[in-house]
């Protein structure tokens, strides 16, 4: 619900200002979030560029062909892409004003995001167990930096999903919550696009001789 602030004119008559409109102009939040995503895109562009320069610097250590399990990464990729589909169903449910369905689809998206993180943590732990930690070579340093940064974004997205589910459950599909669901949708699909780049550029090209 919007709130109003009462002011008075010189003649004493009241004037009411809508604080929701004052703080959240139409499409202002979405525009600001697009700017944030552009800045995030620059960060990932730098990480991709760094990996492109250092990705063949093995320092006489293992290469991607020696370390990467493409079957496991393919499963992880499918999990993350499926989470985008479930988020799409959440957006459809939101358009139909079905708060319970929105919460259900968002929760399922969070479960898939958590599964993605669990597989990624397993991969990192396995590499470190093999002695292929980020300190081993420039290749592995750039690999852990790029993939780890993406994983941190997914972790923040899962936390955001949990908070958003609680907000929708408590307050329903208010204008503010609809705006938040739309912003998180852009963020989540952005992470999927970045991961497709990681899967192609890092993993698939990494196993080539």
Report pLDDT digits (tens) over 98-155: 999 999 999 999 999 999 999 999 999 999 999 999 999 999 999 999 999 999 999 9
This prediction has a pTM of: 0.84
- Assigned token pair, 84: 């985008």
Residue among 73, 161, 74, 72 nearest 113 (CA): 161
The predicted structure's pLDDT at residue 71: 94
Instruction: Kindly state the DSSP code that residue 7 receives in the 8-state scheme.
Output: E
d(CA 101, CA 46): 38
Among all chains, which residue has been given the structure tokens 């943590």? 121
**pLDDT class of 27 with cuts at 50, 70, 90:** low
Report pLDDT digits (tens) over 29-81: 777 888 999 999 999 999 999 999 999 999 989 999 999 999 999 999 999 99
Give the chain's domains with CATH numbers. Answer: 27-206 (1.20.120.80)
Residue among 37, 31, 29, 20 nearest 179 (CA): 29
Residue among 116, 58, 59 nearest 83 (CA): 116
């Amino acid at each position: 619900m919007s709130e109003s602030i009462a002011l008075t004119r010189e003649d004493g008559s009241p004037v009411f200002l809508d604080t929701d409109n004052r703080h959240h102009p139409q499409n202002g939040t979405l525009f600001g979030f697009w700017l944030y995503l552009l800045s995030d895109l620059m960060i990932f562009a730098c990480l991709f560029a760094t990996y492109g320069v250092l990705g063949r610097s093995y320092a006489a250590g293992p290469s991607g062909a020696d370390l990467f399990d493409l079957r496991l990464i393919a499963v992880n990729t499918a999990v993350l892409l499926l989470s985008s589909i479930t988020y799409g169903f959440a957006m459809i449910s939101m358009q139909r004003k079905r708060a319970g369905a929105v919460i259900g689809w968002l929760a399922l998206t969070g479960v898939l995001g958590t599964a993605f993180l669990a597989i990624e943590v397993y991969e990192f732990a396995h590499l470190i167990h093999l002695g292929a930690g980020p300190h081993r070579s420039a290749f592995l340093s750039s690999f852990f930096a790029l993939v780890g940064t993406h994983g941190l974004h997914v972790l923040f997205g899962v936390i955001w999903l949990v908070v958003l589910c609680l907000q929708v459950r408590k307050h329903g599909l208010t204008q503010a919550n609809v705006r938040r669901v739309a912003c998180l949708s852009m963020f989540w699909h952005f992470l999927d696009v970045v991961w497709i780049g990681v899967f192609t550029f890092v993993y698939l090209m990494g196993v080539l001789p």
